[in-house]
A and B are shown apart, each in its own frame.
Chain A
Amino acid sequence: MPKRDDIHHVLVIGSGPIQIGQACEFDYSGTQACRVLREEGIRVTLVNSNPATIMTDPEFADATYVEPITTEVIEQIIAKEKPDALLPTLGGQTALNAAVALHEAGILDKHGVELIGADMDAIQRGEDRQQFKDVVIKAGGEVPRSAVCHSMREVRDTVADLGLPVVIRPSFTMGGLGSGMAHTWDDVERIAGNGLAESPTTEVLIEESVLGWKEYELELMRDHDDNVVVVCSIENIDPMGVHTGDSVTVAPSMTLTDREYQHMRDIGIAVLREVGVDTGGCNIQFAIDPADGRIIVIEMNPRVSRSSALASKATGFPIAKIAAKLAIGYTLDEIPNDITKATPAAFEPALDYVVVKVPRFTFEKFPGADPTLTTTMKSVGEAMSLGRTFQQALQKALRSTETKAAGFWTRPDPAGATLESTLEALKTPHDGTLYTAERALRLGATVEEVHAVCKIDPWFLDQIAQLVDLRAEIQSAPVIDEPLLWKAKRAGCSDAQIAALRPELAGEEGVRRLRLRLGLRPVYKTVDTCAAEFAADTPYHYSTYEEETEVAPSSRPKVMILGSGPNRIGQGIEFDYSCVHAVQALREAGYETIMVNCNPETVSTDYDTADRLYFEPLTFEDVTEVHHAEHTSGKAGDGPGVVGVIVQLGGQTPLGLADRLAEAGLPIVGTSPSAIDAAEDRGVFGRLLDELGLVSPANGTATSYEEAKEVAERIGYPVLVRPSYVLGGRGMEIVYDEESLDGYISRATEASPEHPVLVDRFLDDAIEIDVDCLCDGEDFYLGGVMEHIEEAGVHSGDSSCALPPITLGGAVIEQIRDYTAKLAFGIGVRGLMNVQYALKDEQLYVLEANPRASRTVPFVSKATAVPLAKAAARIAMGARIAELREEGILLPSGDGSDPGPDAPISVKEVVLPFKRFRTVEGAGIDAVLGPEMKSTGEVMGINGSFGLAFAKATLAVYGKLPTSGKVFVSVADRDKRAIVFPVRRLVDLGFTVYATKGTGLVLKRHGIDFTPVARHSGEHDETETDAVGLIASGEVDLVITTPSASTGPRTDGWEIRSAAVVADVSCVTTIQGAAAATMGIEAAARGELTVTPLQELHQRLRGAE
């Protein structure tokens, strides 16, 4: 069946902000979908509130709405755009839920919009646990014994029947949110209680435990003609009990015979048909009893999922792209296989390599959070790697995650680790289970013993045991000769790992020299979907140590762009955005672009993005080898080879490699590594500021606690302390007195001459300002000025901000422009730079300058209609700002410092993951903002006025904005005066006020009535509801609470914020945030929010030229 001719206009819903369980894989899938639909001549309307996505770049849709993904807003878009159809399966659970809501509200029918790629009944059958269970049984599969419960009483009866342990899963939540394994009755009460509250349908499933069983996933696709293919099988190394997003996974499955695999495939296809997935992709999870092979179907996602992105990258089969084509009527046999070009997409990929995915966690960001891995996803990112063997792929994946340990043996064992303690640790799944398993095997445990405690399949454990044997061989060999080094490299060992085992080789550099002397270099194989059965047209490569390389010679000048590696807090999709833009700009300018990255969720690792894709770890060794291979292939093609390596766009990961790459002779383009260092080096940067006559907060550097104390006394408390060289404010804290300084130094750092601690005077109540700019050495271009809504001290990545600034006068902005230009020229920037300022008492302080792409580049680019990263990439390759103005990449005249009086206001708001985490005891964790970045993603609200833009941003984050109801207020003493005005406005809007005594008293004196609420601790009257109880009951619609100076656990503020997080109540923790929220609520209550496509806004912005 060819393409349908009755669909001319499709609405695509994106997945909104990045959050745990729903990351940039949906930017990848959505971007593919938009591209495909437009290639088919279909008009595309897109809604997505996340500005840091490639899909929301104006060229990917005909009308791009960076607007909240809510029923009301989407209805407005539908009414305005009148699409024929809605494609909801490529934007994760968010898009699917939005489509269900639109359907249930009758909006799709009302406007005659057809749902494509999904069927409402099928969604229900796939997502509703009881219905799904029935479907599986009807399809001939088995399910765990279970019952759906709607009350705690039903829960208790069911558990009594099934026996502990049980799995508890709330219905209709994303990423397994709220689910968990209950081993005790206390666990049952806690998890099921929370689960009932989390579930939009007040429903939890209680299920027989299949803990420790083998876990598998299949990625399937179906077309209108009922043709079905299995794109990929994925085996979880972590057995059942750990969320698949938190598991180390392998593709294809490693430990199934054909008989078992085909049985699983048959069940999967039968379930898919029984559910009635219309067209497109779906993911089904299975558990297999290792004792007898009994297969149980766990769940399905009737849409493109995180695993689909992984499967697409693992196999070269572009699931999202094909899903979009199937949705508009094509069948699988009508769609060509992208990679071979000669064969159709109706086939099942055959892999001749092994793929390993390793999750990336950031528990260090959330002190107090339980780091045990459960059925609730907690990881924030992942790295994938490909190798010709499992061992190779595993070792590459481990070093791709950029944790402290870069693969086995690169960090000392924990002090005092014994075989007993190690085996004990293996009983609980945790971040780094495989490291622990390796240690157990190395300390003498057998594969059987390790299997007995962690249930990981013996095959995987034996693979690790082989690495342990190899380690012994490397350690004991009299000399590392060619056969042994070859063997180690084939097993995936990095030079650094070998160096760690053989100190006499003089480190990684020594091993590298030895390796090159012996002539050992990796070759590059191709991901071709067909195990070499057909010639591949697409250069998607991975390294291995074997005989034959497949890198084809080419003559065009090449530019390598280094990506940002696994997502983590502080380094996410924003950097991938800049990398993709660089690729686009340089491809257009005639360069052959070479992408190096290891994050399967991203657009940059789509084999369509760059001319050549290397799915490789971002380490010195792996990057220099790619460079060598590409440079050689360029020379072989009589071309110039690699003429540039771009490290400034991928965040800290590639930046951290810059010096060594430059030393190794790689042509780093753009701002030089030494200039980058100069900006990071406190002393050098301080001298530069002095030269330029710019001011920074008083500061000093300390290599011990004593020094830190001296510095703090000299510059005065409060001080901001942090380790040098960080991204995302890791380990950063505001310290108000000597005692907490001592605490910080001993807890958070290892202050030493190698790891100095930076101490800055902290500017209370200052306005923080972020600036992104471009410089080519002769010319300067200011991209945009963002005014933070939170005061200085909240990490810029966690602050909401407005562009253009809403309170800054022209003179200040002129000064900012002047300062920024001076800095850019002073540092020697050739490309992008981000500068952070604090404005206090009319004095502009330079907080820091980072000569690289910043997190805000996508936001600024969308808010100002200027693609800054594209310009930066061109500048890096020698283009002039004047040239880029002529080409139309930059504005022909003027820049972001003067957007004009009619420019819309753009507000960026952040999404915080506190809800995901619980303490070991099951309580919520502290939701306070500070200098350490904690947000996972961001949204953008655009409107003519600040209030409405802020309201939209809030709506995009929370899905709702209270316009009346109850507000609870409790603020620190210093904020008590400032809170009066916002609260008065809320009262005028009809809110009733609940407040703690101190805050309430101040309000009362300003004529605001309030209901007093006891604080959680202290003068507790038995009859009185306390603040925590009030919030937990869900009666409150808005919480305004600002932290007092001491923010340890167990203070009142901590309990209040945690309760708000658990109850999912909008919680404002800064005084500025409260003022902005009030303006937003006011604006929303007064006028209707209107929607405008980005294309129209951009035309307005650029039309003013």
Chain B
Amino acid sequence: MSSRAPAILVLEDGRVFRGEAYGSVGETFGEAVFSTGMTGYQETLTDPSYYGQVVAQTAPQIGNTGINDEDDESRRIWVAGYVVRDPSRITSNWRAKRGLEDELAAQGIVGICGVDTRALTRHLREVGAMRVGISSRSTDADTLLARVKASPEMAGANLVDAVTTAEPYTYEAVGDTRYTVAALDLGIKRNTPRRLAERGITTTVFPADSDAETLLAGNPDAVFLSNGPGDPATADHQVSVTRKLLQRRVPVFGICFGNQILGRALGLGTYKLKYGHRGINQPVLDRLTRKVEITAHNHGFALAPPKSGEFFETEFGRVQVSHVCLNDDVVEGLTCLDVPAYSVQYHPEAAGGPHDADYLFDRLTALIDNNEGAKADA
């Protein structure tokens, strides 16, 4: 412990935090965000939606359960940097295969520990998410600040292409395949096809630049729009794909980035939240059932609420803002009333986080069933 090198974290607005080197020694830049989950750091680190972001964990004890072979949500760690208060010296869990810090170092993730993460969080809350740099190579704040200011901004960033799969692949249903779904991978997490598979859905995952014809070539029962990093305002290609799907009345389910794409396809705008929603304790009201669910969130952008309130008219018919965050009234989900499409801004697949929103996958199978019925009637 005492052998750690000093490290420094510098925010775009000049605020400096000092700590010690953690993970890989080096220098890194990204957007500073904080996540309030008290469990699930392995899932957080491997969530592609965090690509380009330096994540500060508000929970102070990190790494206690090490890294195991089951909980990665994608093929690698995506965070640009990692900020923790007190990393664990040992690993204690029956599933653990290796230590977190070893894993960070092996994947070249630069981190910093011993930081007053609460002060950092309060600062981001008050001032807003901003660019940040971490260095365990040099502790000169001015030099690092200059480099932070020269690093790319999150607003306007198209990061989807960096995280999406190069080739399509298929995730088989558990048992017999009852449905097939084409998933557009904008940074998909492994637990999504897993959750679908539990319901008898075989999912084929396509690269982000796939067009509507490619997605529909296998005649899937529905198309899934995944979560992913970056500014949804840059995802024009996916928006136009989605519009085609809606025109053809293909059932669509989107989450997170996918929610923003569906919203844009329906004519809504997006905006950057001051500091985002990142955690696993966010209360969302499902207006269809009046139930409150505790949900996993990871989004820095959100859909602009329609002026008309809960319901709004689009070229695809009436749409309801079906889910809202009870903390701040942010739009958390849309349900199309005239076409078979819905989406949520958060993560029903959880991992990490509570499973309260798992029912949303059941809604997909119900939607497919209804749609089949509608097609048959027609």
Query: Cβ of A532 and Cβ of B291 under 8 Å apart?
Result: no
A458 at interface (Cβ–Cβ under 8 A)? yes
Which A33-80 residues have C-beta < 8 A from chain B? none
Min CB distance B22 to A, Å, is 15
The complex places the Cα of A332 from the Cα of B356 at a distance, in Å, of 15
The complex places the Cα of A575 from the Cα of B353 at a distance, in Å, of 43
Residues of A within 8 A of B244 (CB): none
The complex places the Cα of A469 from the Cα of B2 at a distance, in Å, of 11
The complex places the Cα of A225 from the Cα of B286 at a distance, in Å, of 13
Min CB distance A197 to B, Å, is 41
Residues of A within 8 A of B1 (CB): 466, 469
Query: Cβ of A262 and Cβ of B61 under 8 Å apart?
Result: no
Residue ID in chain B nearest A457 by CB atoms: B92
The complex places the Cα of A473 from the Cα of B116 at a distance, in Å, of 24
Query: Cβ of B355 and Cβ of A262 under 8 Å apart?
Result: yes
Query: Cβ of B292 and Cβ of A333 under 8 Å apart?
Result: yes
- Given A262-B350, A346-B294, A525-B118: 17 more A-B contacts, CB < 8 Å: A225-B292, A226-B291, A229-B294, A230-B294, A257-B42, A257-B65, A331-B292, A343-B327, A347-B326, A388-B85, A389-B85, A459-B88, A459-B92, A462-B88, A532-B118, A548-B118, A548-B122
A611 at interface (Cβ–Cβ under 8 A)? no
Query: Cβ of B39 and Cβ of A261 under 8 Å apart?
Result: yes
Min CB distance A921 to B, Å, is 38
How many interface residues does chain B have, given as a range? 35 or more
Residue ID in chain B nearest A490 by CB atoms: B114
The complex places the Cα of A378 from the Cα of B76 at a distance, in Å, of 50
Closest 7 CB pairs of A and B: A258-B40, A258-B352, A548-B119, A531-B58, A459-B92, A258-B39, A350-B36
Residue ID in chain A nearest B278 by CB atoms: A533
Residues of A within 8 A of B68 (CB): 257
A291 at interface (Cβ–Cβ under 8 A)? yes
Min CB distance A533 to B, Å, is 6
Instruction: Give 6 A-B contacts (CB < 8 Å), ordered by A residue.
Output: A255-B64, A344-B327, A350-B59, A352-B59, A388-B60, A389-B60
Min CB distance B121 to A, Å, is 4
Residue ID in chain B nearest A351 by CB atoms: B38
The complex places the Cα of A1103 from the Cα of B122 at a distance, in Å, of 55
Min CB distance A140 to B, Å, is 13
Give a binary string over A318-355; 1 marks a CB under 8 Å from any B CB, 0 the rest: 00000000000001110000000011101111111110
A266 at interface (Cβ–Cβ under 8 A)? yes
The complex places the Cα of A252 from the Cα of B40 at a distance, in Å, of 13
Residue ID in chain B nearest A227 by CB atoms: B292
Query: Cβ of B283 and Cβ of A344 under 8 Å apart?
Result: yes
Give a binary string over A103-135; 1 marks a CB under 8 Å from any B CB, 0 the rest: 000000000000000000000000000000000
A978 at interface (Cβ–Cβ under 8 A)? no
* Residues of chain A at interface, number, CB under 8 A: 58
B318 at interface (Cβ–Cβ under 8 A)? no
The complex places the Cα of A729 from the Cα of B46 at a distance, in Å, of 61
Residue ID in chain A nearest B42 by CB atoms: A257
Query: Cβ of B291 and Cβ of A227 under 8 Å apart?
Result: yes
Contact partner of B294 (CB less than 8 A), chosen from A342, A347, A447, is A347
Which B236-270 residues have C-beta < 8 A from chain A? none
Which A617-633 residues have C-beta < 8 A from chain B? none
The complex places the Cα of A229 from the Cα of B92 at a distance, in Å, of 27
Residue among A226, A252, A259 with most chain B CB within 10 A: A259
Give a binary string over A246-266; 1 marks a CB under 8 Å from any B CB, 0 the rest: 000000111111110110011
Query: Cβ of A349 and Cβ of B118 under 8 Å apart?
Result: no
Query: Cβ of B122 and Cβ of A532 under 8 Å apart?
Result: yes
The complex places the Cα of A226 from the Cα of B121 at a distance, in Å, of 33
A293 at interface (Cβ–Cβ under 8 A)? yes
B99 at interface (Cβ–Cβ under 8 A)? no
Query: Cβ of A346 and Cβ of B292 under 8 Å apart?
Result: yes
Query: Cβ of A466 and Cβ of B89 under 8 Å apart?
Result: yes
Residues of A within 8 A of B94 (CB): 290-293
Residues of A within 8 A of B40 (CB): 257-258
Query: Cβ of A388 and Cβ of B118 under 8 Å apart?
Result: yes
A546 at interface (Cβ–Cβ under 8 A)? yes
The complex places the Cα of A331 from the Cα of B283 at a distance, in Å, of 13
Query: Cβ of A389 and Cβ of B86 under 8 Å apart?
Result: yes
The complex places the Cα of A458 from the Cα of B68 at a distance, in Å, of 17
B37 at interface (Cβ–Cβ under 8 A)? yes
Query: Cβ of B61 and Cβ of A254 under 8 Å apart?
Result: yes
Residue ID in chain B nearest A545 by CB atoms: B116
Residues of A within 8 A of B119 (CB): 546-548
The complex places the Cα of A333 from the Cα of B285 at a distance, in Å, of 9
Query: Cβ of A257 and Cβ of B59 under 8 Å apart?
Result: no
Query: Cβ of A534 and Cβ of B39 under 8 Å apart?
Result: no
Query: Cβ of B279 and Cβ of A533 under 8 Å apart?
Result: yes
Which A544-573 residues have C-beta < 8 A from chain B? 546-548, 550
Query: Cβ of B281 and Cβ of A349 under 8 Å apart?
Result: yes
Residue ID in chain B nearest A259 by CB atoms: B71
Residues of B within 8 A of A546 (CB): 116, 118-119
The complex places the Cα of A684 from the Cα of B319 at a distance, in Å, of 85
B14 at interface (Cβ–Cβ under 8 A)? no
Query: Cβ of A350 and Cβ of B38 under 8 Å apart?
Result: yes
A390 at interface (Cβ–Cβ under 8 A)? yes
Contact partner of B65 (CB less than 8 A), chosen from A256, A344, A354, is A256
Min CB distance B40 to A, Å, is 3
Give a binary string over A217-233; 1 marks a CB under 8 Å from any B CB, 0 the rest: 00000000111011000
Contact partner of A255 (CB less than 8 A), chosen from B86, B93, B281, B353, is B93
Min CB distance A1046 to B, Å, is 54
B282 at interface (Cβ–Cβ under 8 A)? yes
The complex places the Cα of A473 from the Cα of B117 at a distance, in Å, of 26
Min CB distance A251 to B, Å, is 10
Residues of B within 8 A of A459 (CB): 64, 88, 90, 92
Residues of B within 8 A of A332 (CB): 292
Residue ID in chain A nearest B293 by CB atoms: A227
A530 at interface (Cβ–Cβ under 8 A)? yes
B145 at interface (Cβ–Cβ under 8 A)? no
Residues of A within 8 A of B38 (CB): 252, 350-351
Query: Cβ of A254 and Cβ of B118 under 8 Å apart?
Result: no
Residues of A within 8 A of B353 (CB): 258, 262
B43 at interface (Cβ–Cβ under 8 A)? yes
Residues of B within 8 A of A291 (CB): 94
The complex places the Cα of A1087 from the Cα of B332 at a distance, in Å, of 67
Query: Cβ of A532 and Cβ of B121 under 8 Å apart?
Result: yes
Contact partner of A351 (CB less than 8 A), chosen from B42, B59, B283, B291, is B59
Give a binary string over B334-351; 1 marks a CB under 8 Å from any A CB, 0 the rest: 000000000000000011
B125 at interface (Cβ–Cβ under 8 A)? yes
Query: Cβ of B71 and Cβ of A531 under 8 Å apart?
Result: no
A1045 at interface (Cβ–Cβ under 8 A)? no
The complex places the Cα of A499 from the Cα of B314 at a distance, in Å, of 73
The complex places the Cα of A259 from the Cα of B351 at a distance, in Å, of 7
Query: Cβ of B37 and Cβ of A352 under 8 Å apart?
Result: no
The complex places the Cα of A254 from the Cα of B64 at a distance, in Å, of 7
Query: Cβ of A347 and Cβ of B355 under 8 Å apart?
Result: no
The complex places the Cα of A367 from the Cα of B292 at a distance, in Å, of 54
B375 at interface (Cβ–Cβ under 8 A)? no
Residue ID in chain B nearest A530 by CB atoms: B36
Give a binary string over A659-679; 1 marks a CB under 8 Å from any B CB, 0 the rest: 000000000000000000000
Contact partner of B125 (CB less than 8 A), chosen from A343, A347, A532, A547, is A532
The complex places the Cα of A253 from the Cα of B40 at a distance, in Å, of 12
Min CB distance A257 to B, Å, is 5
The complex places the Cα of A351 from the Cα of B281 at a distance, in Å, of 11
Query: Cβ of A348 and Cβ of B92 under 8 Å apart?
Result: no
Min CB distance A144 to B, Å, is 19
B179 at interface (Cβ–Cβ under 8 A)? no
Residues of A within 8 A of B70 (CB): 259
Which B102-147 residues have C-beta < 8 A from chain A? 116-119, 121-122, 125
The complex places the Cα of A462 from the Cα of B66 at a distance, in Å, of 14
Give a binary string over A278-322; 1 marks a CB under 8 Å from any B CB, 0 the rest: 000000000000111100000000000000000000000000000
A535 at interface (Cβ–Cβ under 8 A)? yes
The complex places the Cα of A331 from the Cα of B285 at a distance, in Å, of 12
B200 at interface (Cβ–Cβ under 8 A)? no
Residue ID in chain A nearest B284 by CB atoms: A346
